[in-house]
Amino acid sequence: MKVEILMKQLKGLTDDLSDEEIERIENLITADVEDCRPSSIQSIVLGTFILWICWLFFNAGSTNGMLNPKNNAKPEEIMMNTILCSAASGITAVFVKYPIMGLATEKRKKYDVQALCNGILVGLVTVTAMCANIEPWAALISGLLSGIVYSVACRALYALKIDDPIEASQVHGAGGFLGVMLTSFFDRDHGSFYGHGGKQFGI
């Protein structure tokens, strides 16, 4: 019924289309919205690895200056923190997103490569704000938390019926917010875990 109403509304726009093209439009309209599988898993994985490798040099280079280290920060430590956080986030997202999205629909209750890749990316986003001034254990914890926050953000946008097929809001929005907040805890010079109180929170 909804298809017929929509096609009537589009009648003026579809007059010049062939029957095959109109059929394709009808198939898209009636497609199962729950079954939104990525069109190319290989491209997703390749793109993730390209971003991951470039992000290592982005964090170590832009945050620190690889040829002229500042504030006693070490490029190798920055890269290690970046890898730890992103890897932990990716692994966490694979296992945590499964039950969280399973609460929304049985069709999404499955392990998927997109969760792994976006989990890695959200870990990269999260650690960027603090990669030069945290300990490796803090990077690992940040990764675990970012995988969980990413999964919860996916569930929230799904519940709100907000369409974000590549999950950019969950990765950059939720990951960026979490990174800024965790810096207030884990920063060696100003973090509350190192006895600096709540100054970073404006307290």
Domain that holds residue 149: 44-201
| In a domain? residue 163 | yes
Question: For residue 101, is it left (φ>0), alpha (ψ between -120 and 50) or beta?
Answer: alpha
**pLDDT (0 to 100) of residue 1:** 47
Query: Cα–Cα distances in Å, from 116 out to 7, 36, 120?
Result: 39, 16, 6
**pLDDT (0 to 100) of residue 136:** 93
Q: Per residue, what are the HEC states of the chain?
A: CHHHHHHHHCHHHHCCCCHHHHHHHHHHHCCCCCCCCCCCHHHHHHHHHHHHHHHHHHHHHHHHCCCCCCCCCCHHHHHHHHHHHHHHHHHHHHHHHHHHHHCCCHHHCCCCHHHHHHHHHHHHHHHHCCCCCCCHHHHHHHHHHHHHHHHHHHHHHHHCCCCCCCCHHHHHHHHHHHHHHHHHHHCCCCCHHHCCCCHHHCC
Domain count, the chain: 1
What single letter denotes the amino acid at residue 144?
Answer: L
**pLDDT (0 to 100) of residue 50:** 95
Instruction: Check which CATH number belongs to the domain holding 65 and give it.
Output: 1.10.3430.10
CB atoms within 10 A of CB 16: 7
Give the integer Cα–Cα distance in Å for 39 and 4. Answer: 28
| In a domain? residue 68 | yes
| In a domain? residue 26 | no
| In a domain? residue 2 | no
Does the model's pTM come out above 0.85? no
Residue bearing tokens 């675990």 = 144
| In a domain? residue 54 | yes
| In a domain? residue 33 | no
pLDDT digit of tens for each residue in the chain (203 aa)? 455 555 555 555 556 667 777 677 666 666 555 555 556 788 889 999 999 999 998 888 765 555 565 556 688 889 999 999 999 999 999 999 888 887 545 555 567 888 999 999 999 999 998 988 899 999 999 999 999 999 999 989 888 888 887 888 999 999 999 999 999 899 888 888 877 776 766 65
Give the integer Cα–Cα distance in Å for 118 and 113. Answer: 9
Q: Which of 181, 117, 28 is nearest to 173 (CA)?
A: 181
| In a domain? residue 194 | yes
| In a domain? residue 34 | no
Q: Which residues fall within 8 angstroms of residue 11, CB to CB, at 6 or more apart? A: none
